[in-house]
Amino acid sequence: QVQLVESGGGSVQAGGSLRLSCVVSGDSFSRRCMGWFRQVQGKEREGVAGIDGGGNRVYPDSVKGRFTISRDNAKNTLYLQMNSLKPDDTAMYYCAASDSWYCTRLQSTTFAYWGQGTQVTVSS
Provide the pairing of β-strand 46-51 with 34-39: antiparallel
Structural contact between residues 1 and 26, judged by C-beta atoms closer than 8 angstroms: yes
* Distance separating alpha carbons of residues 115 and 32, to the nearest angstrom: 15
| pLDDT tens figures, 73-124 | 999 999 999 999 999 999 999 999 999 999 988 999 999 999 999 999 999 9
| pLDDT tens figures, 21-73 | 999 998 899 999 999 999 999 999 999 999 999 999 999 999 999 999 999 99
